[in-house]
């Protein structure tokens, strides 16, 4: 034995009396040590000095075991002070050794290109991620409002705004978002003493390795994290408040997270089923003072939320624009090549938007580095996820020998079967027996796609394997359904059926986790993908499933729409599927069955917008677009332009609105869009400018509805620029809840005066409009060259002072069919207005009026009017379309890929359906 361990043990033995020293020696041969051997009695009789005895013990048992034996024997001899002293030193030394062990395990890591033998440093390659702190709603399993707190690895365990430090923190991120790398960063900063200093021990447990476990204890979990699986468990567990457990890839366990509390364990040494042990930690029946960090994908968040109460979680939202550029420079380590690669990626909107996901940044960098190393220039890269993965696989296999290439087709069939079977069973870890049974035990090929990990010695499972990344497993699972068989398939009932329709229907009904597999399936049947797979990867892909994919997309939405209503697309994933296949004729065949888009509550990222815009440009029959309570990803303003980017170009880019790409897509050649509704979407000035341009250049657009308090007077003025253009043929303009005042009414009246098409103007719920605004509006409308048919001014804080202006305007307008003054106390002005409506030249059919507020004289006029014109409908016409409480504040909340499903069903009762056809063909009231 060496070091301070032998010193402290020597001091302990030297302090014994001769009698106790002899008793200690006598007990040694009686102690049975697993993995070691007993010291012979005849040798012990010759030992007279503690240092010699320590040497014998170290040689026989090893350093750690020798200390454990000494502590146990001291306790048996009632030498508790010595046992405590040695144990304290052992724990002190162990803490340092454990930190050194963690440093070795986490300092470096390997990516997929580890076949080249390259180890990467966490410190050199970690790039800060955008992380947001959140908290669960106390009354349900849905996440609550997003906090404005920015979270880093340094602040991950600090108190949130409510000054609480939760014992359980959940780190949420989609696959490839950087959860594991963040955990590596946490572990390294703990080793360096710059993070989690309140913890003596941080145990990181990869849940993919636990999937084969049956009965485990908390002590087992700790031991598996320790060097040689030896640990002073008793002393560690005596201070649970100084322990942090980290569970990475928690969703890989696939465990049901529900169990009666009386069945949970309270003993950390008790081996229980894996589910019971983990739930006992989470529900605080075991080591309640300890802390837990869970890293998981968002698809499993709901079930975990039912297990936890009032806990916090943080969500990884990916790389910011600045972080993406930083990542490229860290990856390449070469200024000129990093600049070239980043400029190339930055110029490709789709590719650049994909790089918000760290694993996609890595994939792109890997592909571009190969091109730069080979030719010092960049070729055009694929814009779809499928083709990027195929490009990378082609590059990877070029480094293998020709013998491996000859067996590739047969190997891929087996690999795809393994991948698909794992996806269906929520399985990411495969035992060595499964690899052999599938015929995949070909090291030269297996190392390309799977990572191998050895298990504890003495287990029956052998080594285990996992795909280098879940994206690769999903890719090969998708390929399973389209890879052509070059040999006769054996009839085996155990084999997974290649039924594309089963995959599609299962995804549609219940398995949201199959989304990426389905998306990649669409990408694989693209003709270019089929050709590239044959030439670049050496495998043949069948195009036969195209018909099944086409029929499924054409019919999947029809159960959500009534037969008498126009069919609309309500799922974002539909646009992603079509974007992945990237074929004009296929997209047109699918979208030809639909006439509109209706999304609700979606946070549209740049990638979502790219997919949406691609589909819109191919959609000849698109008539209506409705976005309700949706938000658009916005670029963060940089302090200075990116390297190599001209200041003027950067400045124009930053001023570009998030809505501009959508508007540009809607203005495609042959567009027949008639109706555009943007309600509670947090519009910016740039968005309004883009809408004004759309109005001026898209003559088919006849219905525009903006319901957003962010619009205001300035927004209305900017919109008027488009309204004044001769190319604007708008017939219905609804500006509800827009916070406009009288300050914009003159501009609005002038702009509307240039149109001979407008039939309906709706300014309802504009409390700042007031009487002055109505007077300016009526004055301007008197000189218009068109005859307005519907004017809605309900709930605009009007009084009788505006009635004279309305009467004067009504005297000039003989085509008005609907006038809405609901939720308005007109006082004496109501009498004047009702008298005007009795005039025979007034053709009004519907009047919105708050009858309960009318005076006695006004009620008499109302009775006379009804007697004279019995067909005139007089009632409260207000249509309350305000979003639910807090909708605007939730605009920045992270959405799932299927946001938008059932939008009509989730709306408030009484709201008009977003599926309703544009009003140009029916009643305007």
125 φ, ψ to 5°?
A: -115, -10
Least confident span in 370-374, 504-508, 786-790, 834-838: 370-374
Lookup: tokens for 841: 């030249």
pLDDT > 70 fraction of the chain, expressed in percent and rounded: 75
Q: What is the pLDDT of residue 566?
A: 55
Query: Looking at the predicted structure, is the pLDDT value of residue 643 above 60?
Result: no
Query: Looking at the predicted structure, is the pLDDT value of residue 575 above 70?
Result: yes
Lookup: tokens for 925: 């009231």
**DSSP-derived 3-state class of residue 316:** strand
Q: What is the mean pLDDT of residues 315-326?
A: 87
Sequence-distant (6+) residues with CB within 8 A of 45 are none
User: In the chain, how long is the greatest CA-to-CA distance?
Assistant: 130
Is residue 847 a contact partner of residue 837, using CB atoms and an 8 Å limit? yes
Per DSSP, 267 falls in state: -
To which residue do tokens 């975990």 refer?
304
- The top-scoring range by mean pLDDT among 167-171, 403-407, 658-662 is 167-171
- Look at residues 836, 851, 848 and name the one whose alpha carbon lies nearest to residue 872: 848
Strands (E), 666-824: 675-679, 703-707, 732-736, 760-762, 790-792, 818-820
Query: Looking at the predicted structure, is the pLDDT value of residue 395 above 70?
Result: no
Q: What is the pLDDT of residue 623?
A: 93
| Adjacent-strand bridge partners of 706 | 678, 735
Q: What is the pLDDT of residue 125?
A: 67
Q: What is the mean pLDDT of residues 547-554?
A: 90
**DSSP-derived 3-state class of residue 764:** coil
- Look at residues 732, 804, 803 and name the one whose alpha carbon lies nearest to residue 761: 732
Give the chain's radius of gyration (CA, Å).
35
Q: Please give the distance of CA 92 from its chain centroid, rounded to a whole number.
A: 42
Q: What is the pLDDT of residues 412-466, one digit of tens each?
A: 889 999 999 999 988 888 888 888 888 888 766 776 777 666 444 444 556 778 7
Q: 32: pLDDT confidence band, cut at 50, 70 and 90?
A: low
| Adjacent-strand bridge partners of 847 | 819, 874
Query: Looking at the predicted structure, is the pLDDT value of residue 73 above 50?
Result: yes
Output the 3-class SS for 93-147. HHHHHHHHHHHHHHCEECCHHHHHCCCEEHHHHCCCCEEEEEEECCCCCCEEEEE
Strand 168-172 vs strand 291-296: parallel, antiparallel, or unpaired? Answer: parallel
Cα 454 from Cα 432, distance rounded (Å)? 10
187-to-98, 100, 123, 854 alpha-carbon distances in Å: 12, 11, 11, 73
Query: Looking at the predicted structure, is the pLDDT value of residue 298 above 80?
Result: no
Number of helices (H) and strands (E) in the chain: give both, helices first.
39, 27
Residue scoring higher pLDDT (132 or 398): 132
To which residue do tokens 């807090």 refer?
886
Q: What is the pLDDT of residues 129-186, one digit of tens each?
A: 888 876 554 323 333 333 445 677 777 777 666 666 678 888 887 666 788 888 888 8
Q: 244: pLDDT confidence band, cut at 50, 70 and 90?
A: very high
Lookup: tokens for 910: 């009484």
Q: What is the pLDDT of residue 493?
A: 46
465 φ, ψ to 5°?
A: -135, 150
Output the average pLDDT for the chain.
Answer: 76
- The top-scoring range by mean pLDDT among 315-319, 677-681, 750-754 is 677-681
- Look at residues 793, 812, 806, 795 and name the one whose alpha carbon lies nearest to residue 832: 806
Q: What is the pLDDT of residue 747?
A: 86
Sequence-distant (6+) residues with CB within 8 A of 89 are 4, 5, 8
DSSP codes joined into one string, 545-582: THHHHHHHHHHTTGGGS-TTS--EE--HHHHHHHHHH-
Cα 244 from Cα 289, distance rounded (Å)? 10
Cα 322 from Cα 303, distance rounded (Å)? 34
Q: What is the pLDDT of residue 178?
A: 81
To which residue do tokens 């997003």 refer?
146
- Look at residues 360, 602, 778 and name the one whose alpha carbon lies nearest to residue 612: 602
DSSP H or E run through 216: strand 215-216
Lookup: tokens for 515: 């989304």
| Adjacent-strand bridge partners of 313 | 134, 170
Cα 610 from Cα 351, distance rounded (Å)? 10
Q: 626: pLDDT confidence band, cut at 50, 70 and 90?
A: very high
Per DSSP, 535 falls in state: I
H-only helix segments in 764-852: 770-782, 803-812, 829-837
Q: What is the pLDDT of residue 792?
A: 92
Is residue 287 a contact partner of residue 243, using CB atoms and an 8 Å limit? yes
Q: What is the pLDDT of residue 309?
A: 64
Lookup: tokens for 749: 């009246």
Q: What is the pLDDT of residue 846?
A: 92
Cα 375 from Cα 223, distance rounded (Å)? 50
Question: Residue 398, Cβ neighbours under 10 Å: how many?
Answer: 10
Is residue 594 a contact partner of residue 644, using CB atoms and an 8 Å limit? no
- Look at residues 404, 426, 196 and name the one whose alpha carbon lies nearest to residue 303: 426
Is residue 877 a contact partner of residue 792, using CB atoms and an 8 Å limit? yes
Is residue 769 a contact partner of residue 739, using CB atoms and an 8 Å limit? no
Q: What is the pLDDT of residue 109?
A: 52
Query: Looking at the predicted structure, is the pLDDT value of residue 404 above 60?
Result: no
Q: What is the pLDDT of residue 325?
A: 92
Query: Looking at the predicted structure, is the pLDDT value of residue 229 above 60?
Result: no
To which residue do tokens 């505006």 refer?
802
Sequence-distant (6+) residues with CB within 8 A of 201 are 95, 98, 222, 236, 242, 243, 244
Q: What is the mean pLDDT of residues 654-659?
A: 59
Query: Looking at the predicted structure, is the pLDDT value of residue 467 above 70?
Result: yes
Output the 3-class SS for 436-494. HHCCCCCHHHHHHHEEEECCCCCCCCCCEEEECCHHHHHHHHHHHCCECCCCCCCCCCC
Q: What is the pLDDT of residue 479?
A: 93
Count Cα neighbours of 500 within 13 Å in the Cβ-side half-sphere.
Answer: 24
Q: What is the mean pLDDT of residues 874-897?
A: 52
Q: What is the pLDDT of residue 386?
A: 84
Per DSSP, 128 falls in state: P
Q: What is the pLDDT of residues 86-124, one digit of tens each?
A: 777 777 777 788 888 888 877 665 454 433 334 455 666
Could you tell me the strand order of the sheet in which 464-467 lies? 430-431, 464-467, 450-453
Cα 82 from Cα 332, distance rounded (Å)? 56
Question: Residue 100, Cβ neighbours under 10 Å: how many?
Answer: 12
Cα 609 from Cα 373, distance rounded (Å)? 33
Sequence-distant (6+) residues with CB within 8 A of 458 are none
Q: What is the mean pLDDT of residues 51-62?
A: 76
891-to-447, 658, 884, 887 alpha-carbon distances in Å: 44, 14, 12, 7
pLDDT > 90 fraction of the chain, expressed in percent and rounded: 11
Cα 52 from Cα 36, distance rounded (Å)? 18
Residue scoring higher pLDDT (887 or 83): 83
Q: What is the pLDDT of residue 734?
A: 92
Query: Looking at the predicted structure, is the pLDDT value of residue 901 above 50?
Result: no
| Adjacent-strand bridge partners of 918 | none
Per DSSP, 78 falls in state: T
Per DSSP, 606 falls in state: H
């Amino acid at each position: 034995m060496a070091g301070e361990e032998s010193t402290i043990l020597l001091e302990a033995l030297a302090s014994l009396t001769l009698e106790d020293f002899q008793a200690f020696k006598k007990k040694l041969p009686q102690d049975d040590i697993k993995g070691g051997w007993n010291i012979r009695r005849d040798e012990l009789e010759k030992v007279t000095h503690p240092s010699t005895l320590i040497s014998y013990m170290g040689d026989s048992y090893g350093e750690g075991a020798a200390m454990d034996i000494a502590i146990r024997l001291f306790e048996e001899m009632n030498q508790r002070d010595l046992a405590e002293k040695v144990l304290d030193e052992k724990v002190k030394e162990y803490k340092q050794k454990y930190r050194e062990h963690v440093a070795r395990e986490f300092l470096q890591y390997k990516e997929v290109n580890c076949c080249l033998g390259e180890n990467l440093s966490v410190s050199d390659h970690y790039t800060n991620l955008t992380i947001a702190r959140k908290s669960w709603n106390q009354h349900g399993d849905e996440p609550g409002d997003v906090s404005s707190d920015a979270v880093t690895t340094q602040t991950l365990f600090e108190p949130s705004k409510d000054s609480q430090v939760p014992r359980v923190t959940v780190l949420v991120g989609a696959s490839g978002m950087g959860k594991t790398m963040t955990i590596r960063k946490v572990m390294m900063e703990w080793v360096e003493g710059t993070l989690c200093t309140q913890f003596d021990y941080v145990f990181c447990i990869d849940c993919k390795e636990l999937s084969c476990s049956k009965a485990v204890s908390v002590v087992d979990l700790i031991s598996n994290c320790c060097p040689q699986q030896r640990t002073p468990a008793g002393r560690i567990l005596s201070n649970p408040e100084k322990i942090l457990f980290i569970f990475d890839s928690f969703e890989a366990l696939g465990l049901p997270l529900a169990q009666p509390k009386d069945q949970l364990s309270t003993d950390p040494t008790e081996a229980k089923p894996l589910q019971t042990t983990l739930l006992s930690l989470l529900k605080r029946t075991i080591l309640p003072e300890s802390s837990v960090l869970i890293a998981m994908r968002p698809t499993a968040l709901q079930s975990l939320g039912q297990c936890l109460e009032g806990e916090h979680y943080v969500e990884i939202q990916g790389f910011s624009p600045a972080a993406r550029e930083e990542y490229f420079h860290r990856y390449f380590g070469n200024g000129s090549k990093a600049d070239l690669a980043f400029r190339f990626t930055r110029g490709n909107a789709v590719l650049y938007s994909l790089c918000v996901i760290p694993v996609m940044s890595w994939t792109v960098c890997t592909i571009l580095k190969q091109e730069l190393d080979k030719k010092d220039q960049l070729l055009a890269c694929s814009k779809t996820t499928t083709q990027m993965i195929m490009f990378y696989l082609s590059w990877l296999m070029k480094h293998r020998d020709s013998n491996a290439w000859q067996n590739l087709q047969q190997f891929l069939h087996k690999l795809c079967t393994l991948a698909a079977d794992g996806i269906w069973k929520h399985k990411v870890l495969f035992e060595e027996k499964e690899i052999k049974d599938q015929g995949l035990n070909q090291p030269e090929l297996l190392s390309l796609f799977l990572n191998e990990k050895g298990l504890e010695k003495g287990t029956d499972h052998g080594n285990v394997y996992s795909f280098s990344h879940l994206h690769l497993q999903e890719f090969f699972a998708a390929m399973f359904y389209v890879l052509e068989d070059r040999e006769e398939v054996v009839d085996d009932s155990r084999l997974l059926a290649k039924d594309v329709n089963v995959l599609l229907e299962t995804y549609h009904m219940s398995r949201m986790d199959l989304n990426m597999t389905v998306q990649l399936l669409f990408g694989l049947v693209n003709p270019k993908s089929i050709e590239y797979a044959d030439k670049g990867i050496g495998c043949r892909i069948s195009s036969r499933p195209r018909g099944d994919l086409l029929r499924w997309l054409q019919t999947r939405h029809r159960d959500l729409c009534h037969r008498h209503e126009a069919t609309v697309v309500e799922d974002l994933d539909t646009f992603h599927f079509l974007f992945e296949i990237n074929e004009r004729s296929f997209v047109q065949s699918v979208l030809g069955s639909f006439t509109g888009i209706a999304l609700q509550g979606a946070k549209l990222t740049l990638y979502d917008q790219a997919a949406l815009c691609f589909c819109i440009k191919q959609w000849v029959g698109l008539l209506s677009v409705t976005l309700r309570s949706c938000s658009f990803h916005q670029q963060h303003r940089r302090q200075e332009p990116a390297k190599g980017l001209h200041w003027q170009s950067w400045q124009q880019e930053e001023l570009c609105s998030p809505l501009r790409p959508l508007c540009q897509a809607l203005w495609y050649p042959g567009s027949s869009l008639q109706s555009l509704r943007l309600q509670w979407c947090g519009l910016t000035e740039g968005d309004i400018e883009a809408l004004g341009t759309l109005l001026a250049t898209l003559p088919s657009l006849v219905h525009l509805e903006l319901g957003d308090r962010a619009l205001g007077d300035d927004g209305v003025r900017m919109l008027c620029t488009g309204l004044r253009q001769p190319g604007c043929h708008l017939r219905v303009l609804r500006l509800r809840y827009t916070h406009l005042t009288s300050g914009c009414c003159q501009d609005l009246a002038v702009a509307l005066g240039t149109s001979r098409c407008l039939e309906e103007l709706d300014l309802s719920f504009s409390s700042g409009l007031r009487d002055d605004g109505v007077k300016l509006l009526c004055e301007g409308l008197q000189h218009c060259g068109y005859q307005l048919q519907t004017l809605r001014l309900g709930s605009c804080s009007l009084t009788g002072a505006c009635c004279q202006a309305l009467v004067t305007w009504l005297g000039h307008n003989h085509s008005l069919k609907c006038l809405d003054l609901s939720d308005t106390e007109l006082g004496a002005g109501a009498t004047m207005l009702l008298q005007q409506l009795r005039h025979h030249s007034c053709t009004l059919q519907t009047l919105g009026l708050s009858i309960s507020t009318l005076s006695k004289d006004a009620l008499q006029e109302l009775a006379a009017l009804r007697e004279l014109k019995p067909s005139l409908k007089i009632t409260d016409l207000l249509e309350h379309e305000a979003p639910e409480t807090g909708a605007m504040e939730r605009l920045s909340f992270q959405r799932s890929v299927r946001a938008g499903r059932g939008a009509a069903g989730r709306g408030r009762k009484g709201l008009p359906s977003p599926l309703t056809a544009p009003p140009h063909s029916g009643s305007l009231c």
